[in-house]
Every structure is written in C-alpha cells, then in structure tokens.
Structure 1
Amino acid sequence: MSVIQPFTSHTPFDQVVADICEKGWSVTDGFFSEELIEALLADISELDNAYMKQAGVGRSNDHQVVLNRRSDYIRWIDPVTSARAAFLDAMSELRLAFNRRLFMGLWDYEAHFARYEEGAFYEKHVDAFKGKSNRVLSTVLYLNEAWGDQDGGDFVLFDEQDENKEVGRYAPIKGRLAVFLSEDFPHEVLTAKRTRHSIAGWFRVNNSIQNNVDPGQ
C-alpha cells in the first residue's frame, strides 16, 4: 500500500482537542489532507449498495432496521485499502491526543462508511445513553463534492441541556469533520436531496468484564 499523508498541518489536533475541552463539540474544515479525502471519496464511491447494508438503530439484541427513523446504508471500515488504513491510523493518533491532553481513557475506534441516497435521513438521536454504552466521542467526516444548500442533508447538532435548541446546522461538505460527546449531544441528518457520503465513527472506552471486552454492546 502507498503511504498517504493524512494531515494538513504539523499540529492537526490542537483546535479539535481545545473545542472538546471547552464546549464538548467541534466542527472543523481542512483537518485531513486533500490527498486522503480524495482517496476516501474514491473508496466509498466505488462501493455498490449490494456490498453495504441497511443501517439500523439500537445495538446488540435491540438492533433493528426502522426506515422511518433512519434510512442510510453502511459498511464497516477495515484497513483493506491505503486510504482506509491511513484514516484509521490518523484517528488512532487523535485518540492518543485526547488521552494525553484530556485524560479521556479512550480504548479504540470503530467507523463505517455511510451512504444516504436521495430522500434518506436520520431522525434526532444520541449515539450513547448515559451509563449504557462505551461510546464516548462521536466523529463524522463528510465526503461530498460541490455540495450546495439545495442538496439538503445538513448535520444538525442540538444543545446538551435543551434538545430543542440548535447548536449549529452544517452542510456535509467535503473534508468537514464533526466531533462531539456521544452521550451529551442529540443530532440528526436532514433529508438528502442527492446521494450523500460520510464516515461515522466512535471512540470507545473498554467496559470489559472477566476478559470479555465490551460485554452486552
């Protein structure tokens, strides 16, 4: 595999870490290099829906497909291409930065490609319920060329104290990275007017019991 330069600067983590420390969420443009973004965009563009699966809600025994709540397709990411390996390595570096600077105790990272076809959406939700999940920080990286206001599909983040109050509404433009505390911030994906691509991921802590990693998740 060829080596892909992942970042745009020598200090890529400073703003994201500072944002999480100060307010619990961050939306950053230009975090990753154009080279990596283009490679990831090529990867997901080549994926046929037949090799993805309909996303569901809930985890483990509670997982189910509910199309009136969520209607995207997903494929979990393994380091099988240069782009995916470089992305996972970069997120591992970000995980270490959070641990060193904020002492968050993050254990690992999981992520999947997400495809929202025209008309797809994801209603307001949180990525983790307090005391019931090992997901601590959520991330979303957007991979959409020339996205305009008319294309819909905005990411909407809501206040941690008032879930009806918007913190911000962001277009899923190419290279934009959102990071936020999984338990604290409700969010939604508005209806996409054309195919919309992203990578959703989660930094997790280890809730192991008797050598069984993350039981019941």
Structure 2
Amino acid sequence: MEQLAAAGYAVADDILPIGLAASLRTELLALEAAGALSVAGIGRETAYRRDGDVRRAAIRWLDGGTAAERELLSLAETLRRVINARLFLGLFDFECNYIAYPIGGFYGRHLDRLQGERNRVVSFIAYLDPDWTEVDGGALRLWRDPDDAGEPVLTVLPRAGRVVLMLSEEIPHEVLPANRPRHAIAGWWRINRA
C-alpha cells in the first residue's frame, strides 16, 4: 500500500496464492478450449470497438460461479478494504475478467479509464502462468503519467501469483507481445456513483 500511495502503482509477489492461481488458470484454459471467451475490445457503448491493431486478447467476465472465482473475489474484497483504509479512495465495487493473450497477443499503451465518468479508480492484475521468463515476452510496462513519452519506469514479468495494482486514471501501461499463451485476471475497483 505504501508503494501504491507513493508511486501510483505497486507490484507484489505471492499476493495471489499459487494454488489459487493454478485453479484459476485451469478454469481459464477450460473456458478457452470450450470457445467461451469473447474477443476483447476497447471503449464502451457507442465507442466500443474491436481493434486488433490496439489489442489482441480474449476475455470472460468473472461472476463468482466457481469456488476459485469466489476465493479471488474474497481476496479482492480484502484488498479493497486495505486500500480504502490507507488511501481513503472510497472504493466500492469490483469487476474483473479472465484475459487470455494468444501467441503474438498484446495491448497497446493505454489508461484503464473509460470516457465519460470516473468509473475505474484502482486497477488489479493477477498473473496465472508459472515459469514465465523474459524470453516468453508479454511483459507489462508502466509509465509514471500519461504525458510521459520516455522509457517506462517499470517492466513486470507476468509470473504466477504476482499482483500489480495501479491508479487507473493516472498510470499508462501496455502489454508487450507474448511469445507463448499468457493468462491473467484483470480487474478494477470503482467508486460509488450514487
């Protein structure tokens, strides 16, 4: 939490227990094999589009329908309480999806902000693939702020159990092309719009 407060992002290993990462990965692989994932898009409502030049991945929203999903959502609730206690952000709601990048899959530099309203405040990424190395590609790169055109301040390998948190509207990031299939959970805490 101190790193998130100071830098706007934080990376921690073993926040997601390895057994839970393995269970979620197994579920995601089964969904993928069954053709139950949707091509990931960008934007929302009338601005929503699928653009393979910006993002190449497939997703499925989690609904808490399995024991592993419920355990992940319970972990997210614990993190929400800790973030609120430390950063006073008033986080209220959490949504997340499975995300699968094929070989060559990527996501160009972006913010996790949807146009029109402040709806995503803190982003959450949990990695599911074991034994990931630099040769496998698919690293996450972060910049300090949207106007930063220089080199990224951090490059994160997507190793199982690793969690990344970042301020959704402030930290630009990208996923480099993966050299092997890459699996993760991406989520966002939102504030109460009422």
TM-score band, normalised by shorter chain: over 0.9
The runs of 5 or more residues in structure 1 that have no matched partner are 1-16, 209-217
Matching residue within 5, 9, 14 for 1:30: 14
TM-score by length of 2: 0.94
Deviation (angstroms), 1:132: 2.9
Greater gyration radius: 1
Matching residue within 107, 111, 121 for 2:106: 121
Deviation (angstroms), 1:60: 2.0
Cα distance in 1 for residues equivalent to 2:149 and 2:61 = 29
- Higher RCO (C-alpha 8 Å, min separation 6): 2
Matching residue within 64, 75, 89 for 2:60: 75
Cα distance in 1 for residues equivalent to 2:2 and 2:116 = 25
The answer for the alignment partner of 1:142 in structure 2 is 127
Contact 1:159/1:165, CA 8 A, preserved across alignment: no
SS in 2 for 1:61: helix
2:97 maps to 1:133: no
Runs of 4+ deviating beyond 6 Å:
none
Range 39-48 or range 89-98, more displaced: 39-48
TM-score by length of 1: 0.84
User: Paired residues, what number?
Assistant: 192
Superposition RMSD on alpha carbons, in Å? Answer: 1.5
The runs of 5 or more residues in structure 2 that have no matched partner are none
Cα distance in 1 for residues equivalent to 2:119 and 2:41 = 18
Cα distance in 2 for residues equivalent to 1:67 and 1:46 = 24
Range 36-45 or range 23-32, more displaced: 36-45
Cα distance in 2 for residues equivalent to 1:102 and 1:156 = 24
Deviation (angstroms), 1:129: 5.9
Matching residue within 177, 188, 191 for 1:202: 188
SS in 2 for 1:135: coil
Alignment of 1:1-217 (within 5 A): 17-48=1-32, 50-128=35-113, 132-160=117-145, 162-208=148-194
